[in-house]
Amino acid sequence: MRFTRLRRLPIRVRLALAFTVAMALVLGIVGFFVYEGVSGAVDRSIDSGLTARAGDITALVRQADSGLRQGGGAVLGDQDESFAQVLDYDGRIFDSTPQLADKAILSRVQLGQAVAGATFFDGVLIPGMEDPARLLAVPTVAQDRGLVVVVGASLEGREETLSQLFTRLSVWGPVALLLSSFLAYVLATAALRPVELMRREASAISAAEPGRRLPVPEARDELARLSTTLNEMLARLEAAMETERTFVSDASHELRTPLSLLKTELELALAQKRSTAELEEALRSAAFETDRLTQLAEDLLVLARADQGRLQIRSEEIDIRRILEGVRDRFALRAGDLERDLTVAAPPSFVVRVDRLRMEQALSNIVDNALRHGEGTVELQAEEVEGSLEVHVLDEGPGFPAEFIPRAFERFARDESRSERGAGLGLAIAAAIAESHGGSMRVGNRDSGGADVCMFLPA
């Protein structure tokens, strides 16, 4: 539930919160090490002072019986915070600074530890002193007696120093955390400002304003690459929309002509009494236009499915020669009426895996164009070139105009120099079928004259 609520927060707030948590951990760790470092330094300073004083007092004890009373003031310095005492091994006081009176500051156990070697004792409560003290007990020998020199220092200064340090860390740490969190929020807001600008611009972009793009930040960073990528996407979408509009406009234009002719034929047939022969002729014309409409609708459906990637391909292994011969047989009668020849040239037993009906549809469109716009013999030729199959439809006509070749596979593209006009979808459909088989199309002119439409297919 908490994570869900966090996801609902603005990204700049989440970034600031994440930085705050990380900064709090950093400040806590740094504060801990600073406190421990200062505490250790103070302890080392106290121990160093105790060691030096213990050495001085040991030297005094070895020189005179009343070393502390004679030279203790000069050695001990501040009598309120520093003190010393000399004990024998039985715990009797051999010498002592005045503020300790006549009571031994080491217990029997502590004295035993001190006799064995120099020992530090921490947090010892000294009679007559409010704050605990740190002691250093050092064994020594003077006047043929075993003695223990005990020096100590009050921990009041240490506790005061550490308390002040803790207070400052407790106060300035949260202040630093708040300032850094605010700075993190400001920086996150500034860093996301280009995103906000892109969002505002994106909300204002519409189809009514083509060519409008998102602002690209000057820095060549991730946001600049994102805006560049989005602008490229917008360009692709505009191109797709323009293609869609052109397609709909051209399709409407192509549908309008046969529909107008069909309506005219029917109106003329109903306008006045006509003979049976005239009515039959009108019906034949209407049927022709209906066939034309049906074919155009079929062609548009093929292209629409190809655009959506839903052009169904039912592949089967088949000899390419059988497909070419089937197309030739389909157009044999028409070619005979035009007194033209249709020939097939293909390697024997060259098996390919294709959708036979789609391949025949594509080749039929190309052959139909060759018969309508070309001249002489139309040759269906298949050959294997470097592991792929090339299927050529060749004729002996004038060929394609140079300005038409680059747009030959565009939908509704027509060669305006030809007297016979069609919908301009034949080559576009052939190209869509070739691409659905993983192949491609190319058009060109033969050196000897005539058009060459080639389909490349993977063998």
61 in the Ramachandran plot: left (φ > 0), alpha (ψ -120 to 50) or beta?
Answer: alpha
Same domain, 278 and 380: no
* pLDDT one-digit tens code per residue, 433-459: 888 888 898 999 988 888 999 999 886
CATH of the domain at 387: 3.30.565.10
What percentage of the chain exceeds 70 in pLDDT? 82
C-alpha 39/C-alpha 31 separation (Å) is 12
* Band (372; pLDDT cuts 50, 70, 90): confident
DSSP string, 2-42: HHHHHHHS-HHHHHHHHHHHHHHHHHHHHHHHHHHHHHHHH
pLDDT of residue 310: 63
Same domain, 390 and 349: yes
Same domain, 447 and 335: yes
Same domain, 331 and 289: no
- Residues 131-136 have a mean pLDDT of 88
Handedness of CA 10, 15, 20, 25 (dihedral sign): positive
74, two tokens: 């000069």
Does 354 have pLDDT greater than 80?
A: yes
Between helices 11-63 and 67-76, what is the axis angle to 10°? 150
pLDDT of residue 164: 92
Q: Are 380 and 367 in contact (CB under 8 A)?
A: yes
CATH of the domain at 274: 1.10.287.130
Residue 3 lies in a domain: no
Same domain, 143 and 253: no
Q: Which residue among 143, 160, 177 closes a domain? A: 160
Residue 413 lies in a domain: yes
Same domain, 343 and 370: yes
Does 257 have pLDDT greater than 70?
A: no
* pLDDT one-digit tens code per residue, 10-58: 778 888 888 889 999 999 999 999 999 999 999 899 889 899 988 888 8
pLDDT of residue 78: 47
Same domain, 345 and 272: no
Does 301 have pLDDT greater than 80?
A: no
pLDDT of residue 6: 63
pLDDT of residue 350: 84
Residue 428 lies in a domain: yes
Same domain, 155 and 31: yes
- Lowest average pLDDT, out of 116-120, 235-239, 295-299, goes to 295-299
* pLDDT one-digit tens code per residue, 83-92: 888 888 888 8
Range of the domain at 122: 12-160
C-alpha 9/C-alpha 15 separation (Å) is 10
Indicate the average pLDDT of the chain: 80
More confident residue, 415 or 240: 240
Residue carrying the six token digits 């003190």: 83
Same domain, 278 and 320: no
Q: Which residue among 307, 330, 347 closes a domain? A: 307
Same domain, 30 and 155: yes
pLDDT of residue 395: 92
* pLDDT one-digit tens code per residue, 139-162: 988 877 888 999 988 888 888 898
Does 258 have pLDDT greater than 90?
A: no
More confident residue, 109 or 9: 109
pLDDT of residue 199: 79
C-alpha 96/C-alpha 281 separation (Å) is 144
Same domain, 324 and 400: yes
What percentage of the chain exceeds 90 in pLDDT? 15
Same domain, 343 and 442: yes
Residue 171 lies in a domain: no
pTM above threshold 0.85: no
Q: Which residue among 160, 182, 201 closes a domain? A: 160
SS3 147: strand
- Residues 414-423 have a mean pLDDT of 51
List the one residue out of 405, 392, 395, 403 whose CA is nearest residue 434. 392
Does 393 have pLDDT greater than 50?
A: yes
pLDDT of residue 75: 46
Residue 167 lies in a domain: no
pLDDT of residue 405: 84
CATH of the domain at 72: 3.30.450.20
Q: Are 128 and 134 in contact (CB under 8 A)?
A: no
Residue 369 lies in a domain: yes
Q: According to the per-residue pLDDT averaged within each range, which of 93-102, 222-231, 294-303, 361-370 is highest?
A: 361-370
Alpha-carbon Rg for the chain, nearest whole angstrom, is 52
Report how many domains make up the chain.
3
Residue 80 lies in a domain: yes
SS3 217: coil
Residue 25 lies in a domain: yes
List the one residue out of 438, 458, 333 whose CA is nearest residue 384. 458
C-alpha 197/C-alpha 259 separation (Å) is 50
Residue carrying the six token digits 């921490």: 122
